[in-house]
Amino acid sequence: MNVINHAIFDLDGTLVDTIPDIENCINTILNEYEIKAFEGDVIRKELGYGSEHLWSCIRSKRGLTTSFVNDLRAIYDKYYEDNCTVLSQPYDGIKELIIDLQRIGWYVSVLTNKKNSSAKKCVRNYFQNIPLDRVIGISKDIAAKPSPEGINHLNGMLGSKGNVNTVLIGDGETDAKAALLADVEFIGVCWGYRSRSDLELAGVKVFVENPKELYMRLRGLF
């Protein structure tokens, strides 16, 4: 039996509660153009598929043209990157979880549907004293989840260090599907932006309620 030794974490809704900054940045831009704002609960339902999907939903819900929304999204991407660490916070126990996993020899990476530069800035800010093995967001080279490209890329990068066996940990349907397509284990977290029932509908079988339970699951299940 292969021993799991590499944890890939989703970022938004798994490591960090990013909704406050995303909501603030979206509504700041919408307000500039006198467009009705969105509440966090509405944004939460659409989060996890990347910026393009989020702004496509805004276009649909506000009856905007595609070209106008493309312009707004370009403004948002820059504004969010500059302001992505103002209100967001890591979930309680996450830093300790990562440190504990690294202490027992695990590789720890981040794979997110955030823009790559924003993802790296967010991780640098909140985990500056915790050297993660790799952080990957969306780029021209890596497709968004549920594509398995990011998982396969991370495994390939770490493979030079020895035998790598991976579990993906996330809060969304895209995470679960990416794990399935990459043929790696998946654990769904119940503190993120999807309900347990949402994840069950996506076929998730293994759940954890908090980071401490996740650590025990990782130590004992695999």
pLDDT in tens, 102-152: 999 999 999 999 999 999 999 999 999 999 999 999 999 999 999 999 999
- The verdict on residue 10 lying in a domain is yes
Asked whether the bond before 211 is cis by omega within 30 degrees of 0, the reply is no
Helix (H, G, I), strand (E, B) or coil at 31: helix
**63 and 101 in a common domain:** no
**122 and 179 in a common domain:** yes
**168 and 105 in a common domain:** yes
Question: Between the CA of residue 204 and those of 170, 178, 185, 192, what are the distances in Å?
Answer: 11, 12, 10, 14
**63 and 167 in a common domain:** no
Q: What is the pLDDT of residue 3?
A: 84
- The verdict on residue 1 lying in a domain is no
Cβ within 8 Å of residue 157, ≥6 positions away: 134
CATH of the domain at 47: 1.10.150.240
Residue 70, domain extent: 19-82
Task: Tell how far CA 173 is from the center of its chain.
Answer: 11
The pTM of the full predicted model, rounded to 2 decimals, is 0.94
Q: How many domains does the chain have?
A: 2
